[in-house]
């Protein structure tokens, strides 16, 4: 960092700029510099991912009533159109189209998942799910214990990146049964890891045997306030989540 | 009958950045339900950082509302190629908070100076969301040198310019400037930020 190219001295402002710790004049000067320096723009972007985490660490519940006021104000606020040359920013990316399709079929997909899981829970005939249950002899008693609990509650969730999960949980039995379908396949070096996350800390539950698995996994040691989370980790598993959560369900 | 619940967007935590990236384009098209979900994902973080910088509760609420409305109004300007949606919104929130503080700085500067010792990095622990995230940030702030950490804390949470931080700490401005950059690079690497 000691080479003295033009702009190098200016470049040391990157940290102060990313934290808004500069005067308006310095800000304008630095932004002119940024416009011609792609590498600097990338550095600023990465530093802002870090400052965003500093911000997130201060999260506190907003005042009651703020949500209603914000939503009401938005309803009366005209939105700015995208700049003409930038239409491709939205249209060129696959995600929005995929998402809008996802939204239109979301209800149907969720309903299908619920029906499939209900077949297990209530013993309705459903070949594949029942087969998976019987194949997993080691945990079948635990599964039965959760499914038959008086407080058994079923939930479904969508996995970011693809796939649905169905969870049947019982706080009375301190356990839940987890099944997944249509998870996106991962490279051989990585696997899906299931977590219980809560006041008692982050506990790895298990690595899922494969992305195509749909059979039940039992997570015991469930405590009040826990969330169930799914991340993609190195195939051997990790002690703590190291990648963004692809699923986060409050239990 | 067993109750059936589906976790809605409100069940997600601020860490749900993938969700957010998908929601912003919907907001840009005027989708009120998507904006409702964005509020649930971000309002606590926006209010948290604004309140940390601005301090005054009523002003913090005003600024928070302005920031969230700006997200609604300018969602079409978000470019996923230039960073995460969370970083986009938090950058907006922090800048608006700092703008507010500096616009009233003359009146309050003396109080803020005397309040300086009240901004230790341990204060981060008062946040209520995501214990995992908070713990990581605390650990990473703790891995900085004292000068790096004080520079970041005063600048980001205190809303001071690097020049003000330099005079508060009695260190040359050039030194503070480089420490700030070094500190953020170290934080970025420690937090495992991916770009």
Give the integer Cα–Cα distance in Å for B117 and B134. Answer: 21
Q: If you count residue pairs, one on A and one on B, with CB atoms under 8 Å apart, how many are there? A: 276
Which domain, by its residues, includes A13?
9-53
pLDDT-based confidence at residue A84 (cuts at 50, 70, 90): low
Binary contact (A70, B152; C-beta < 8 A): no
Sheet holding A153-158, edge to edge: A217-220, A175-181, A164-170, A153-158, B4-5
Q: For chain A, where are the alpha helices, taking DSSP H only?
A: 8-11, 14-18, 24-35, 38-56, 66-75, 87-91, 94-121, 127-135, 137-147
- End residue of a domain, out of B40, B69, B103: B103
pLDDT, average across residues B100-126: 52
Percent of chain A with pLDDT over 90: 22
Q: Are residues A149 and A243 in the same domain?
A: yes
Q: For A36-93, where are the alpha helices, taking DSSP H only?
A: 38-56, 66-75, 87-91
Tokens representing B36? 């409702």
Percent of chain A with pLDDT over 70: 72
Q: Are residues A33 and A112 in the same domain?
A: no
Of B59 and A6, the structure prediction assigns the larger pLDDT to B59
Binary contact (A49, B159; C-beta < 8 A): no
pLDDT, average across residues A193-205: 85
CATH code, domain carrying B187: 1.10.10.10
Q: Are residues A34 and A144 in the same domain?
A: no
pLDDT at B14 over 50: no
Q: Would residue B177 count as lying in a domain? A: yes
CATH code, domain carrying B98: 1.10.1740.10
What does the pLDDT look like over A209-247, one tens digit per residue?
Answer: 777 665 678 888 888 888 888 888 888 888 888 888 888
Give the integer Cα–Cα distance in Å for B90 and B53. Answer: 13
List residues bridging with A199 in a β-sheet. Answer: none
Which domain, by its residues, includes B80?
9-103
Q: Are residues A23 and A104 in the same domain?
A: no
What does the pLDDT look like over A26-81, one tens digit per residue?
Answer: 899 899 988 888 889 999 999 999 999 999 999 999 999 999 999 999 999 999 98
pLDDT, average across residues A149-159: 77
A154 contact residues in B (CB cutoff 8 A): 2-5
Of A166 and A140, the structure prediction assigns the larger pLDDT to A166
Closest Cβ–Cβ partner in A20, A59, A199 for B45: A59
Of A161 and A135, the structure prediction assigns the larger pLDDT to A161
Q: How many angstroms away from the CA of A74 is the closest CA of chain B?
A: 6
Q: Residue A148 has what pLDDT?
A: 72
Of A149 and B20, the structure prediction assigns the larger pLDDT to B20
Closest Cβ–Cβ partner in A50, A59, A227 for B193: A50
Closest Cβ–Cβ partner in A62, A78, A249 for B44: A62
Residues 72-131 of B with CB under 8 A from A: 72-77, 79-84, 86-87, 89-91, 93-95, 98, 124, 126-131
Domain count, chain A: 2
The three-point CA angle B160-B161-B167 to 5° equals: 85
SS3 content of chain A, % helix, strand, coil (to 5): 40, 20, 35
Binary contact (A57, B192; C-beta < 8 A): no
Strands A153-158, B4-5: pairing kind: parallel
Give the integer Cα–Cα distance in Å for B74 and A155. Answer: 35
Tokens representing A201? 């800390």
| pTM of the shown model | 0.57
Q: Residue B17 has what pLDDT?
A: 56
Structural contact between residues A216 and B146, judged by C-beta atoms closer than 8 angstroms: no
pLDDT, average across residues A123-145: 50
Q: Would residue B191 count as lying in a domain? A: yes
- End residue of a domain, out of B46, B80, B103: B103
**Mean of the per-residue pLDDT values of chain B:** 82
Q: Coil, strand or helix: which one is A201?
A: strand
Return the minimum-mean-pLDDT range out of A160-169, B42-51, B80-89, B138-147.
Answer: A160-169
């Amino acid at each position: 960092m000691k080479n003295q190219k033009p702009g190098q001295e200016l470049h040391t402002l990157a940290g102060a700029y990313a934290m808004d710790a500069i005067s308006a004049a310095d800000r304008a000067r630095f932004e002119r510099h940024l416009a011609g320096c792609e590498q600097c723009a990338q550095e600023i972007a990465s530093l802002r991912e870090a400052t965003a985490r500093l911000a997130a660490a201060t999260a506190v519940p907003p005042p009651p009533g703020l949500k209603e006021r914000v939503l009401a104000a938005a309803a009366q606020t005209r939105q700015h159109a995208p700049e003409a040359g930038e239409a491709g920013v939205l249209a060129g990316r696959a995600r929005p189209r995929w998402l809008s399709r996802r939204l239109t079929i979301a209800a149907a997909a969720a309903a299908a998942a619920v029906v499939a899981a209900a077949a297990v829970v209530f013993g309705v005939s459903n070949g594949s799910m029942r087969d998976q249950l019987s194949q997993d002899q080691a945990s079948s008693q635990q599964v039965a214990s959760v499914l038959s609990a008086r407080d058994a509650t079923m939930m479904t969730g969508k996995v970011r990146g693809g796939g649905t999960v169905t969870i049947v949980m019982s706080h009375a039995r301190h356990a839940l049964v987890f099944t997944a379908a249509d998870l996106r396949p991962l490279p051989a070096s990585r696997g899906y890891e299931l977590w219980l996350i809560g006041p008692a800390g982050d506990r790895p539950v298990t690595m899922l045997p494969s992305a195509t698995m749909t059979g039940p996994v039992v997570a015991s040691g469930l405590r009040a306030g826990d969330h169930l989370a799914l991340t993609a980790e190195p195939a051997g598993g990790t002690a703590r989540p190291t990648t963004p959560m692809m699923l986060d369900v409050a239990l | 009958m067993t109750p059936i619940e589906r976790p809605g967007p409100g069940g997600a935590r601020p860490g749900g950045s993938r969700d957010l990236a998908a929601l912003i384009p919907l907001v840009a098209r005027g989708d009120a339900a998507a904006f409702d979900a964005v509020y649930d994902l971000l309002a606590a973080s926006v209010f948290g950082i604004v309140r940390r910088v601005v301090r005054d509760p009523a002003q913090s609420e005003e600024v928070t509302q302005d920031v969230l409305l700006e997200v609604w109004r300018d969602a079409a300007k978000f470019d996923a190629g230039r960073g995460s949606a969370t970083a986009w919104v938090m950058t907006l929130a922090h800048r608006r908070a700092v703008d507010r503080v500096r616009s009233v700085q003359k009146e309050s500067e003396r109080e803020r100076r005397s309040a300086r010792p009240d901004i230790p990095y341990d204060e981060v622990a008062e946040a209520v969301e995501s214990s995992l995230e908070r713990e990581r940030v605390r650990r990473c702030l703790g891995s900085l040198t004292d000068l790096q950490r004080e520079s970041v804390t005063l600048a980001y949470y205190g809303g001071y310019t690097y020049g003000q931080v330099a005079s508060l700490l009695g260190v040359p401005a050039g030194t503070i400037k480089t420490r700030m950059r070094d500190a953020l690079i170290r934080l970025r690497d420690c937090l495992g930020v991916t770009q």
